[in-house]
């Protein structure tokens, strides 16, 4: 009995000490000396009531936790708003979820407020009268706060039949539960423009941005349905994001590891993995792939982006183009108001696109075709527009506005004097030659051409009174890259004419395939290429096949003349995607890497995994990748892919201003991943 009582007392004493210890440990240690007068009497120390009282005060939860507890559990909604509007009935008890709008206090005893649904597409009016507790609670809540409401449905007085159909009900409020308070220091208004660092507020205030993201999801679903309904169906397969560094052409993002000297690379595309899948017995593959390239940002380029990636075994480029045309037609017929493109898309060779439009992704809707005229122009005219010897001189026509030479002169003068015109005035090969066709002037304003050249230009371009004729010289050299100086000027003049209202914007969608690219292009300092010593790089990537047997022969004698079996899908001046037939033979692939591109042995070993897969009887295969962000932007008529991405990067280096990425690397992380910073 004594042992039992002693043990019981010991347990109580130990429990009391633990309470005291927990209380003392929970007190915040002061950062600076703090002096408090205390009662040091023996009785005060041993009196437990003081400590127990303080412990009780300490155990009282902060107000924000009490508030949060009330929002942890909330009743489910009896309706979504769309169903509520179409199926509710008077007198019905309902529970809805949503965001409070701005309250309208009619009197001291009556208030109205709109409740927006979670999608922020629909809203319903709440009516609150001073007959229950919900009235005062509603008046204490801020607009934009998420709430749960309970009430009784009643018919709303409508001004007309349209409003009666669109907004037939209101809810007499009986209960309202706050789920999270919207702070008073954030200003929200429908026309409010929030900075990129507040992307969540941009999305919340802009129905256009939210609808673009919903449309993006629909586009993805339609693409998936079209590809998976084929025979045989395409199979969606995810390939790894942690890849290895390989010289495919663009700069990569490296991911360091804790293993000294080893790093992953984020994939520029799933190119090598999908070719390995073709060697693995997968006949048709696709995925919505996340890709990463360390490149400067543009309106149509992000450092991380999504592409609809696909590959087909026992297939040619023509087979791939037919599949992609089917996807496009399905998208346009399902989601667009305009007619779906019919028939096969027309094809234009790279050489024709560059010579006729000065671009490998031309917008052909507005004409302005380019023609060579250096063989007709007087030498003195050529010398006035360029210092080059034996240059190529090209011309195009921009139709005037209502046959008004004065308006055309004013437009072109403003353009060339603006920042947009500076690059063309400062062209090292010579600025543009500008002529306004004016029937009231000698030779219609083309006196510098001379009679014979002016007559030829009139036959070639058929200019009308007030049209603009533009000459531009360039070096006499084969086409390389994606555009020529006159092609850039053509695009800039058209864009400026639309922006200033000088010309109406072209309409519709003009799809075409750009084909017959050169397989190799001269290397440049701005593009890393594949790191070979031959002075040339693969125009797209080193896995693209030559187009014909004759092109295969040229690999031995003149690689720069080899035509690639590559194809780009272009619409309205935007490259939607590109693809090619691949090299499926390991010996040919190794020959191009080693002998044609002259990659060093250590770089060649980085492709050993692919060569091994090709060597295992890989069938012929071809594929394509559609820029998914660009595709959605084009369908919605957006100028920038940032408008169709939830959290886009901004700035030249690709920052995320909301989460502040990229962020500095701490010393501990540097040591963990065996890194050190080098001052430039």
pLDDT tens for 281-327 read: 999 999 999 999 998 777 778 999 999 999 999 999 999 999 999 99
Query: Has residue 35 got a pLDDT over 90?
Result: no
Write the CB contacts of 614 (distance below 8 Å, at least 6 apart in sequence). 275, 279, 583, 584, 585, 586, 589
Residue 530: pLDDT band by 50, 70, 90 thresholds?
low
| All CATH 2.40.50.140 domain ranges in the chain, comma separated | 71-178
Write the CB contacts of 599 (distance below 8 Å, at least 6 apart in sequence). 247, 530, 531, 532, 533, 593
- State the pLDDT at residue 2: 41
- State the pLDDT at residue 411: 96
Write the CB contacts of 360 (distance below 8 Å, at least 6 apart in sequence). 350, 353, 354, 482, 483, 514, 517, 568, 575
- DSSP H/E element including 566: strand 566-571
* Closest residue by Cα to residue 186 from 178, 175, 197: 197
- State the pLDDT at residue 21: 43
Residue 63: pLDDT band by 50, 70, 90 thresholds?
confident
The two structure tokens encoding residue 170? 């209101």
Lowest-confidence segment of 158-172, 367-381, 509-523 by average pLDDT = 158-172
Q: For 374-476, where are the alpha helices, taking DSSP H only?
A: 379-385, 405-417, 422-425, 450-461
Lowest-confidence segment of 163-167, 204-208, 451-455, 594-598 by average pLDDT = 163-167
Residue 528: pLDDT band by 50, 70, 90 thresholds?
low
| Mean pLDDT of all residues belonging to the chain | 89
DSSP 8-state symbol, 433: E
Residue 4: pLDDT band by 50, 70, 90 thresholds?
very low
CA atoms within 13 A on the CB side of 601: 0
DSSP string, 296-313: --BTTB-SEEEEEEEEEE
Q: Is the peptide bond before 215 cis (omega within 30 degrees of 0)?
A: no
Q: What is the pLDDT of residues 468-498, one digit of tens each?
A: 999 999 999 999 999 999 999 999 999 999 9
Query: Has residue 536 got a pLDDT over 80?
Result: yes
Please state which architecture CATH assigns to domain 71-178: Beta Barrel (2.40)
3-state SS assignment for residue 523: coil
Q: What is the pLDDT of residues 176-202, one digit of tens each?
A: 999 999 999 998 887 788 999 999 999
CA atoms within 13 A on the CB side of 15: 7
- State the pLDDT at residue 529: 60
Please state which architecture CATH assigns to domain 366-505: 2-Layer Sandwich (3.30)
Other C-beta atoms closer than 10 Å to the C-beta of 591 total 15
**What percentage of residues in the chain have a pLDDT greater than 90?**
77
Residues 275 and 397: their CA atoms lie apart, in Å, by 45
3-state SS assignment for residue 624: strand
- State the pLDDT at residue 580: 97
Higher pLDDT, 636 or 248: 636
Q: What is the pLDDT of residues 376-388, one digit of tens each?
A: 999 999 999 999 9
| All CATH 3.30.1360 domain ranges in the chain, comma separated | 366-505
**Per-residue pLDDT averaged across 138-151, rounded?**
96
Whether the CB-CB separation of 510 and 363 falls below 8 Å is answered with: yes
- State the pLDDT at residue 140: 95
What homologous superfamily is domain 211-344+566-644 in, according to CATH? Bira Bifunctional Protein; Domain 2 (3.30.930.10)
- State the pLDDT at residue 251: 86
Residues 259 and 423: their CA atoms lie apart, in Å, by 48
Residues 310 and 223: their CA atoms lie apart, in Å, by 11
Residues 177 and 138: their CA atoms lie apart, in Å, by 9
Task: Report how far Cα 44 is from the mean position of its chain's Cα atoms.
Answer: 69
Residue 24: pLDDT band by 50, 70, 90 thresholds?
very low
Rounded to the nearest 10 degrees, the angle between the axes of helix 485-499 and helix 350-357 is 60
**Per-residue pLDDT averaged across 69-84, rounded?**
94
Residues 310 and 234: their CA atoms lie apart, in Å, by 8
- State the pLDDT at residue 303: 92
- State the pLDDT at residue 356: 97
* The total number of residues written for the chain in this structure: 680
DSSP 8-state symbol, 178: E
Q: What is the pLDDT of residues 574-630, one digit of tens each?
A: 999 999 999 999 999 999 999 999 998 888 998 999 999 999 999 999 999 999 999
The two structure tokens encoding residue 589? 């692939």
Residue 52: pLDDT band by 50, 70, 90 thresholds?
low
| All CATH 3.30.930.10 domain ranges in the chain, comma separated | 211-344+566-644
Residues 306 and 290: their CA atoms lie apart, in Å, by 5
* Closest residue by Cα to residue 74 from 177, 223, 170, 157: 177
- State the pLDDT at residue 381: 95
């Amino acid at each position: 009995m004594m042992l039992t009582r002693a043990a019981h007392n010991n347990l109580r004493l130990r429990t009391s000490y633990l309470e005291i210890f927990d209380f003392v440990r929970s007190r915040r240690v002061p950062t600076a000396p703090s002096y408090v007068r205390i009662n040091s009497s023996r009785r005060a120390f041993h009196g437990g009531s003081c400590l127990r009282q303080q412990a009780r005060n300490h155990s009282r939860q902060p107000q924000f936790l009490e508030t949060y507890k009330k929002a942890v559990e909330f009743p489910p909604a009896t309706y979504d708003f769309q169903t509520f509007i179409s199926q509710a009935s008077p007198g019905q008890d309902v529970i809805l979820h949503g965001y409070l709008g701005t309250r309208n206090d009619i009197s001291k005893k009556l208030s109205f407020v709109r409740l927006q649904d979670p999608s922020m597409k629909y809203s319903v009016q709440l009516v609150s009268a001073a007959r229950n507790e919900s009235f005062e609670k509603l008046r204490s809540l801020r607009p934009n706060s998420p709430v749960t409401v309970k009430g009784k449905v009643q018919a709303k007085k409508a001004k007309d039949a349209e409003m009666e159909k669109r907004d037939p009900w209101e809810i007499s409020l009986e209960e309202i539960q706050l789920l999270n308070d919207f702070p008073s220091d954030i200003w929200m208004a429908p026309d409010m423009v929030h900075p990129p660092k507040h992307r969540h507020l941009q999305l919340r205030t802009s129905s256009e941005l939210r609808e673009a993201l919903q449309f993006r999801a629909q586009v993805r679903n339609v693409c998936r349905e079209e590809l998976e309904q084929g025979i045989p169906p395409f199979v969606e397969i995810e390939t790894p994001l942690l890849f290895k560094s390989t010289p495919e052409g663009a700069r990569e993002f490296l991911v360091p590891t804790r293993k000294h000297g080893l790093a992953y690379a984020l994939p520029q595309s799933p190119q090598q993995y999908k070719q390995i899948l073709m060697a693995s017995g997968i006949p048709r593959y696709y995925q919505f792939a996340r890709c990463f390239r360390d490149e400067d940002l543009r309106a149509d380029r992000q450092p991380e982006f999504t592409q609809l990636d696909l590959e087909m075994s026992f297939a040619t480029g023509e087979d791939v183009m037919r599949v992609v045309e089917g996807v496009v037609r399905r998208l346009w017929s399902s989601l667009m108001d305009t007619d779906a493109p019919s028939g096969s898309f027309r094809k234009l060779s790279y050489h024709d696109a560059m010579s006729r439009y000065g671009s490998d992704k031309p917008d052909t809707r507005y004409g302005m075709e380019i023609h060579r005229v250096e063989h007709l122009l007087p030498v003195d005219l050529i010398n006035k527009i360029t210092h080059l010897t034996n240059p190529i001189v090209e011309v195009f026509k921009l139709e005037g506005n209502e046959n008004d030479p004065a308006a055309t002169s004013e437009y072109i003068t403003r353009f060339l004097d603006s920042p947009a015109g500076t690059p063309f005035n400062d062209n090292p090969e010579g600025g543009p030659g500008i002529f306004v066709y004016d029937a009231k002037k000698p030779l219609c304003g083309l006196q510098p051409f001379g009679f014979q050249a002016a007559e030829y230009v009139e036959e070639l371009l058929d200019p009308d009174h007030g049209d603009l004729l533009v000459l531009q010289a360039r070096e006499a050299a084969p086409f390389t890259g994606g555009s020529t100086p006159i092609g850039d000027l053509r695009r800039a003049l058209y864009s400026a004419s639309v922006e200033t209202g000088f010309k109406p914007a072209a309409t519709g969608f003009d799809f075409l395939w750009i084909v017959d690219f050169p397989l190799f292009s001269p290397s440049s300092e701005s593009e890393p290429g594949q790191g070979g010593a031959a002075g040339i790089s693969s125009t797209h990537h080193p896995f693209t096949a030559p187009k014909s047997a004759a092109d295969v022969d040229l690999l031995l004698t003149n690689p720069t003349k080899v035509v690639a079996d590559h194809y780009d899908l272009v619409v309205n001046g935007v490259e939607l995607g590109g693809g090619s037939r691949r090299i499926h033979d390991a010996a040919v692939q190794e020959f191009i890497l080693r002998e044609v591109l002259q990659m060093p042995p250590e770089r060649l070993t980085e492709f050993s995994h692919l060569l091994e897969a090709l060597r295992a009887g890989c069938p012929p295969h071809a594929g394509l990748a559609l820029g998914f962000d660009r595709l959605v932007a084009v369908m919605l008529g957006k100028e920038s892919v940032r408008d169709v991405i939830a959290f886009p990067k901004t700035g030249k280096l690709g920052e995320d201003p909301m989460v502040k990425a990229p962020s500095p690397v701490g010393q501990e992380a540097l040591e963990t991943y065996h890194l050190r910073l080098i001052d430039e």
